[in-house]
A and B are shown apart, each in its own frame.
Chain A
Amino acid sequence: MELKREKHADELFKEFRETSITEFFRKNRAHLGYSGKLRSLTTVVHEIVTNALDACEEAGILPEIQIGINALNSEHYKVFGADNGPGIPLKHISDVFGKMLAGTKFHRNVQLRGQQGIGVAGVTLFSQTTTGKPIKVKTSTGKGKVHEVELMIDITKNRADILSKEEYSQYWRGTELDVEIKGVKFNLSERGPFEYLRRTAIANPHAQIIFIDPEGRKTVFERSSEKIPKPPISVRAHPKGLEVDDLINMSKVTKARKVNSFLVNTFSRMSNAKVKEIQEHVSFDLNKNPRKLTWAECEEIINAIEKVRFLAPPTEGLEAIGEEQIRDAVLNILDPEFEAVLTRPPKVHSGGIPFLIEVAIAYGGHAGRSIGDGTKCEIMRFGNKAPLLFDAGGCAITKAVNSVEWKRYGIRDFENSPITVFVNLVSTYIPYTSAGKQSVAEEKEVLKEIRFALMDVGRKFQLYHSRKRRALEREARKQILLKYSIELASGLAELTNKNEEKIMKELQNLVEERITGLEIEEAEEEIKEEELEPTLEGESEDNSEAHEEADEKLEEITEEVE
């Protein structure tokens, strides 16, 4: 079924070797992110930025990225990208920019931003199919030599066709890219490059991102954290959560000669004992050549995996952004009145894939999305730190956000509040609804986790909100008292023949003193309340149940193996 709906990139790769590369691209551009004028442009920016961020991360460099978009003509743009990354050695330039699916990330099962799209070579291909022009690359590893290369992809051989090559001496490090593309359109909408970069900046607080739009306006998203994220660890895929097409694709590229060794070598927590168990559930001999596996046989294996218990996958592959980093970024970019951030502990979805949820809410300041005179709420979805801009409607994250009763937390009109909700789903395998990878499928556990995380930050907001309301009340009370103080002081002065100014002064002091006293009392009461009632009724029970459920599941899986 999966195969009919969409095609996995490896499958596609195999396909385009047989037909022509242009044909492949034309047929599958939607799956690769190149559909629609706006989306195609956003995808180009995404590929360039992702390439830079991943490279910097692996090299331990604090990224400085610049993106510029110039309008050359109607629907004809020039995109410029520059980074301070490690640079690309000359011999690898062709692979990075000129070869489709080279060094594929697909089956490293690494939690990488680049899970989306097909990599920066896709930009080369998009450029040459829409304008017929090569891309220009300038790169240096910082050792004194700079290379400038113009290249296209030789579509019959799937390799770089270098049109010009230049080398000169200069001490500089990084990569610059010039691409011309047609059939795209720039705008400032929620799905455009600007919003993409703004969100990227929030999810990547260690990066400085500069954007120059076609009007020449420059936006600098400053770095708010000096902490470079750890490069993601490569983890083998866990058998649970595998789809038939995943398995068939992997079987085509394995070096193993037998299905049983293919299974043991490819998947995490897959022992010989487990393979024997699988053998009992399948109708064919697992000693056969994996390349000869049929769809039906793969389906049998998947069904067998369902019946076998495996040790839970390791969670060290999950790299969260971190509460501190998100907070810094949110403060830096949204400058809100209030923010609350939460990173939940890892859980599993689809019976065994580890994931974790990070959420933040920001209220006031630049939070929310300005539309005309008003501000509306804004939901920022991320999959492994990469912004998900499209297909919001069908996404589990959107559904989870909308399922929260925000009224309970003092947000009466959620839709029209200056609020930004940030949700980052971290997983070695994100259950996207389609190959467009812009929308998360409604996995029960994922939905639940997002809800709980949002309720938690919602409660924090509620506390802030009631605190703010009480502060307003105190201020109003103070103003009332001060207003009547003037008249009172004058009346008392007449009654007692005492100095009116002195009475007024003491009266003001008294009022100030009492209001401050109230503030302290409230703070003390709040502490008492918190001690008595650590969480809210109803929801909290759900919450602990869910924790238990998840824990039990993990235990079950672990015990089975031992």
Chain B
Amino acid sequence: MERQKVISKLTHLGKDITEDIMLHESPRIRMPQRGIGNIHFNEKKNLLELGDKMSTRSFLNVAHSRKFMQTILIASKCKEFVSRNKTASIRELYYQLKHTIASTKENTFDDQSESDPLIVDLETALGVLREELHLKADDKGTLIGKITIEDSEDFIDCSKLGRSGLSIPSIVEHYKFHDVEADYVLVIETGAMFDRLVEEKYHLKNSCIMVSAKGQAARGCRRLVHRLNHELKLPVIAFTDGDPWGYYIYSVMKAGSMALAHESKRLGTPKMKLVGMTMTDIDTYGLEKVTEKLKDIDKKRINELSQYPWFQKKEWKKELDLMSKKGVRIEQQALASKSLEFVAEEYLPEKIKKSIMLP
């Protein structure tokens, strides 16, 4: 979307509200509802989608007044960023807007946790992306492998960045891909497992690009994986811990998240598969002794997952049932009980070759 159009959308929002005020109507902002009630799982596309239920934020409702005011402050600040062609982190935005409200002891924002969700509100209300508002989140995630990325006229060979790899920024829109020598992309949940595989030169031996999400994948990471899949047609394989949290990380990268359902299409990778850890691995590889008992919070999370429409495939139902039945979880690094090399030399190559993966 062109900058001019984003500016016009922001201005329009302000004008509509100002008009309400001039006509002595209740000033309102309408935006799609983002609760589970308005999120649908599109089985055909394998993506979470936002429904068309709208919610209204009204200034005259004192429960909304503060958020309403904050949303407008964010909009006006974003207009400034876009106009000046500056990009700010969401934390910078918070600091730019934080001040004491005249003749009170109250701050416009008390904490970044107040401004972050309102940015998403603004995105959905206007139908613009965070990047288009010239906002970026913190960088998170790492990439390594035989691919050269063109970034602002620099060419980065991601196989020549030592063991550290490329740190994935929040905005990857401007990346151009060159010289790709890979058969697939392997997304790894933990940094520690990523490091293990780097040391074992897994990406070189198996001709793949490795991405570490480092927990729940950030937008930039998800967008990059999406682009690698869609633009380079590389299959994407996820490798997470064998617990509800790991599986949810996988599901977010695959089908999108509830919070950003409006962006699933840009961020999701529906064709992604999961290689491990699975409950069947425990039996297959004799890992019973290195499992951990489920805590109450894990059990609760399993129940939640099994309610989600995008966990209704029979393979997943089976997997979650098995986890409940066994009452255990298994970490990626538990494979080290065999040997440090086991994961790189036997576990992954074998499973991927035989395509023993979950959908």
Contact = CB atoms under 8 A, between A and B. Distances in A.
Interface residues of A, number: 22
Interface in B106-143: 106, 108
A498 B20 CA distance: 14
Contact of A491 (B11, B76, B104): B76
Contacts of A480: 62, 65-66
B274 to A, nearest CB: 45
A487 B80 contact: no
Most buried by B among A498, A506, A509, A510: A510
Contact of A484 (B26, B69, B75): B69
A407 interface: no
B102 A486 contact: yes
A441 interface: no
A434 B72 CA distance: 76
A480 B66 CA distance: 9
Query: Which of B10, B27, B62, B79 has most chain A Cβ within 10 Å?
Result: B62
A374 B45 CA distance: 71
A424 to B, nearest CB: 46
A481 interface: yes
A495 B62 CA distance: 23
B321 to A, nearest CB: 50
B351 to A, nearest CB: 54
Contacts of A491: 14, 69, 72-73, 75-76
Contact of A511 (B10, B13, B60, B76): B60
A514 interface: yes
A471 interface: no
Nearest to A481: B65
A550 interface: no
A494 B18 CA distance: 11
B310 interface: no
Interface in A500-516: 503, 506-507, 509-511, 513-514
B101 A484 contact: yes
A494 B79 contact: yes
Contacts of B104: 483
Given A487-B73, A488-B72, A495-B14, A510 B65 contact: no
A161 to B, nearest CB: 79
B60 A496 contact: no
A477 interface: yes
Interface in B38-79: 59-60, 62, 65-66, 68-69, 72-73, 75-76, 79
Contacts of B26: 514
A496 B101 contact: no
Nearest to B10: A495
Given A513-B24, A514-B60, A492 B65 contact: no
A487 B68 CA distance: 10
Interface in A460-501: 477, 480-481, 483-484, 486-488, 491-492, 494-496, 498
A514 B27 CA distance: 12
B178 interface: no
Contacts, number: 75
A492 B18 contact: yes
A312 B15 CA distance: 79
A510 B17 CA distance: 13
* Main secondary structure on B side of the interface with A: helix
A495 B11 contact: yes
A175 B11 CA distance: 87
Nearest to A514: B60
A492 B11 CA distance: 9
Given A487-B69, A488-B69, A496-B15, A481 B62 contact: yes
Nearest to B60: A514
A488 B20 CA distance: 13
Nearest to A504: B21
Contacts of B17: 492
Contact of A510 (B21, B79, B80, B101): B21
A111 B75 CA distance: 79
Contacts of B102: 486-487
Contacts of B21: 492, 503, 506-507, 510
Contacts of B76: 491-492, 494-495
A471 to B, nearest CB: 15
Contacts of A483: 101, 104, 106
A549 to B, nearest CB: 50
A507 B65 CA distance: 13
B22 interface: yes
Contact of B79 (A481, A488, A495, A507): A495
Contacts of A506: 21-22, 24
A208 to B, nearest CB: 49
B267 to A, nearest CB: 28
Contacts of A477: 62
A505 to B, nearest CB: 10
Nearest to A476: B62
Nearest to B7: A495
Given A484-B66, A488-B72, A495-B75, A509 B24 contact: yes
Contacts of B65: 480-481, 484
Nearest to B80: A494
Interface string B1-21: 000000000110111011001
- The listed residue with most A CB atoms (<10 A of its CB), out of B11, B14, B24, B66, is B14
Interface string B82-108: 000000000000000000011010101
A496 B24 contact: no
Nearest to B70: A487
A510 B24 contact: yes
Nearest to A497: B11
A536 B59 CA distance: 37
A483 B21 CA distance: 16
A519 B60 CA distance: 15
A484 B68 contact: yes
Which among B15, B21, B79 has the greatest number of chain A C-beta atoms within 10 A? Answer: B21
A452 to B, nearest CB: 41
A417 to B, nearest CB: 29
B18 A503 contact: yes
Contacts of B14: 491-492, 494-496
B101 A486 contact: yes
Interface string B156-171: 0000000000000000
Contacts of B72: 487-488, 491-492, 495
A173 B104 CA distance: 66
A429 B59 CA distance: 65
B15 to A, nearest CB: 5
Nearest to B22: A506
B21 to A, nearest CB: 5
A57 B24 CA distance: 62
Interface in A285-340: none
A553 B24 CA distance: 63
B79 to A, nearest CB: 6
Contacts of A494: 14, 76, 79-80
Contacts of B101: 483-484, 486-487
A178 B183 CA distance: 121
A516 to B, nearest CB: 12
A494 B106 CA distance: 22
A510 B22 CA distance: 9
Interface string A149-188: 0000000000000000000000000000000000000000
A547 to B, nearest CB: 45
Nearest to A502: B22
B121 to A, nearest CB: 14
A222 to B, nearest CB: 43
**6 A-B pairs with the lowest CB-CB distances in the bound complex, closest first:** A495-B14, A491-B72, A494-B76, A484-B69, A496-B14, A491-B76
Given A483-B104, A495-B13, A511-B60, 16 more contacts: A477-B62, A481-B59, A484-B59, A484-B101, A486-B102, A487-B101, A491-B76, A492-B18, A492-B21, A492-B76, A494-B14, A494-B79, A495-B72, A495-B79, A498-B18, A506-B21
7 contacts: A480-B62, A484-B101, A488-B59, A491-B72, A491-B75, A492-B14, A496-B15
